[in-house]
Amino acid sequence: MSCPECFQGTIHIGQPRGKVTKLHGLDTYVTEPVDGREVKGIIIIIPDAFGWVFINNRLLADHYADKGDYRVYVPDFMAGWSAPLWLLDLVRKTTNLPIFAAGFCWGGKHVCLLAADTSRVNGKLLIDAGFTGHPSLLKVPSDIEKMKIPVSFAIGDQDSHLPLEVSGNIKDIVEAKPEEQRGEVVLYKDCSHGFCVRADIRFEEVARQAEAAEDQCIQWYDKHLGTEGH
């Protein structure tokens, strides 16, 4: 289950522009670049405890689509309290585009689990790279040591679930992995749990940090374009 802090934060103002559809049987919010630019990859968001209908998660998906020219899916994973591997399996079977996963809070745990899964579909791993903002419920070091796919972590230095000693341990482990598996950890000053999704953007510095984490995610995926399937 999720942590109490996963249910705290600020609701953002805006109008998500994507649509709701079915993705292999799951209710899913899907969005693409606003001006019709060619899609260069797929991002699957495993959301925080607020779930797939939460406006912040949908607005974040829109931002990812525009910043990186990605098709972004936010499926209703919460119905089963898991990120089913079968969905990634089916998505991989039906596209030649690179596939990336982004997870927040509870969803970050599942990105790490996906990064440890070495199942292959048509010779390719289920995801090409992962990103997680302020993951919760991690077992450190075991969850991190098992990862075989590169993952980028965005962590606030005030995150009570990932104190500096723990985030430092994660950083040491992911940066010591072989090059094709190597991850990164970026610490955000004065940021607490939930800042990537539920930051109070009325405050300029808080908004800047949240946007920097968005850019971190897209830059990570862009870096791993062309390495599909490893």
pLDDT at 204: 81
Mark out the alpha helices in the chain (DSSP H runs).
55-68, 85-93, 106-116, 142-145, 164-175, 195-198, 204-224
| Homologous superfamily of domain range 4-224 | Alpha/Beta hydrolase fold, catalytic domain (3.40.50.1820)
pLDDT band at residue 8, thresholds of 50, 70 and 90?
A: very low
Q: What is the C-alpha separation between 158 and 37, in angstroms, rounded?
A: 38
Give the residue extent of every domain in the chain.
4-224
Phi, psi (deg, nearest 5) at residue 87: -65, -45
Residues 93-120: pLDDT tens digits?
Answer: 999 999 999 999 889 999 999 999 998 9
Q: What is the C-alpha separation between 67 and 221, in angstroms, rounded?
A: 11
Task: Enumerate residues 6+ apart whose C-beta is below 8 A from 174.
Answer: 144, 147, 150, 151, 153, 182, 183, 184, 185
How do strand 99-104 and strand 26-31 relate by DSSP bridges?
A: unpaired
pLDDT at 85: 76
DSSP state of 213: H
pLDDT at 106: 86
Q: For residue 146, give the 3-state DSSP assignment.
A: coil
**Do residues 73 and 43 make contact, with C-beta atoms less than 8 angstroms apart?**
yes
The average confidence (pLDDT) of the chain is: 88
Residues 30-51: pLDDT tens digits?
Answer: 999 998 899 999 999 998 777 7
pLDDT at 170: 99
User: Does the pLDDT at position 211 exceed 50?
Assistant: yes
pLDDT at 162: 96
pLDDT at 159: 95
Q: For residue 191, give the 3-state DSSP assignment.
A: coil
User: Does the pLDDT at position 17 exceed 80?
Assistant: yes
Does an H or E element contain 153, and which?
strand 151-156
Residues 73-87: pLDDT tens digits?
Answer: 999 886 655 556 778
Q: What is the C-alpha separation between 71 and 84, in angstroms, rounded?
A: 19
Q: What is the C-alpha separation between 144 and 147, in angstroms, rounded?
A: 6
Token output for 146: 């098992």
